[in-house]
Structure 1
Amino acid sequence: MAPVMEIMRAAFDPAYGEAWTSGQCAGILASPGTWLMIAELDGRPAGFALTRVIVDEAELLLIAVHPEARRRGIGVRLIAGVAEAARRRGAASLFLEVRSNNPAIALYTGTGFSKVGERINYYRGANGDLFDAHTYSLPLCP
């Protein structure tokens, strides 16, 4: 779990409070249908994706790429790997939820996700600012 936590600390801005603790990660990994995918760059962990499948829906719970490894296709490869693994596990769709001003939205839309929902003022930043949550979906056709 150490490489995941190192990437998490570097990748998530503390102003938004989105990083998970080691205990939260370990707890969700103990749930059925949940898995962790780690991407490497030059033999070192550079990114990860935490995903779960429930019946025929998959949810990308967390995805992060270390800032020093960004813009090298790691996020795209993680999403492709997650989508393929979810498809093999019987999922018909892959969902994710993201803060409305998160720059990763460009990654998601660039890999085929479409916005399907919105929760107004869902997230609260460390300074009390509120942010909408956007839900995105990617169909996983065979």
Structure 2
Amino acid sequence: MNDDLDRIMAVMDAAFDPAWAEAWTRRQVGDSLALPSTHYALADARGGLPAPGAPAAGFTLTRHAPGEEELLLIAVRPEWRGRGVGRALLRRALDAARERGAERMFLEMRHNNPAEGLYRQMGFEPIGRRSSYYRLPDGRFLDAITFGCKL
């Protein structure tokens, strides 16, 4: 598990732009993974499972509750974006949520997140908005959009 946490954090450090302050700390991820309702998946550069000890190209982190699942984080290293890794991870997360009995999956993202197109392609639809939820380093705010996907 510690090896997987290292691989998750390596992707996290590479994938999240510090300007958006979206990356989680190692402690936040570790504490989350200690809960039985939290699940993760790693992907290699082809979207499959990475070999033991091999670096990951991406990961997902989800939280299950009765009848639903929330996509907490999805990340792909910048050098592997646009090659299907995110799509493969999201498809695996949706399949795993279905297997755990979820009927819907939810996620929340900032208004200008470039992953919105992928989410929509995979069946997610906007269901809510939190006005001025994300604060930018320059003091401006962006809305958060909540998406849902029927499984």
Deviation at 1:110, TM superposition (A): 1.3
In structure 2, what is the Cα distance between the partners aligned to 1:133 and 1:52? 19
Deviation at 1:127, TM superposition (A): 2.9
1:28-59 C-alpha deviation (Å, 9 max, x unpaired): 11112211100012653100000011111100
My pick for the range that moved more, 114-123 or 5-14, is 5-14
Which of 68, 75, 91 matches 1:64? Answer: 75
Which of 31, 39, 42 matches 2:43? Answer: 39
Structure-2-length-normalised TM-score: 0.89
Which of 17, 24, 27 matches 2:28? Answer: 24
In structure 2, what is the Cα distance between the partners aligned to 1:138 and 1:103? 18
In structure 2, what is the Cα distance between the partners aligned to 1:16 and 1:129? 12
Structure-1-length-normalised TM-score: 0.94
Q: Secondary structure at the match of 2:126?
A: strand
Which of 7, 18, 22 matches 1:3? Answer: 7
Partner of 1:84: 95
Q: Secondary structure at the match of 1:41?
A: coil
In structure 1, what is the Cα distance between the partners aligned to 2:142 and 2:94? 27
My pick for the range that moved more, 69-78 or 119-128, is 119-128
Deviation at 1:9, TM superposition (A): 1.3
Which of 104, 109, 118 matches 1:93? Answer: 104
1:119/1:132 contact within 8 Å kept: yes
My pick for the range that moved more, 35-44 or 75-84, is 35-44
Q: Secondary structure at the match of 1:6?
A: helix
In structure 2, what is the Cα distance between the partners aligned to 1:26 and 1:79? 21
Partner of 1:114: 125
1:14/1:126 contact within 8 Å kept: no
Structure 1: tracts of 5 or more residues without a match: none
Structure 2: tracts of 5 or more residues without a match: none
Alignment length (residue pairs): 140
1:119/1:133 contact within 8 Å kept: yes
1:61-85 C-alpha deviation (Å, 9 max, x unpaired): 0000000001111111111100010
My pick for the range that moved more, 9-18 or 35-44, is 35-44
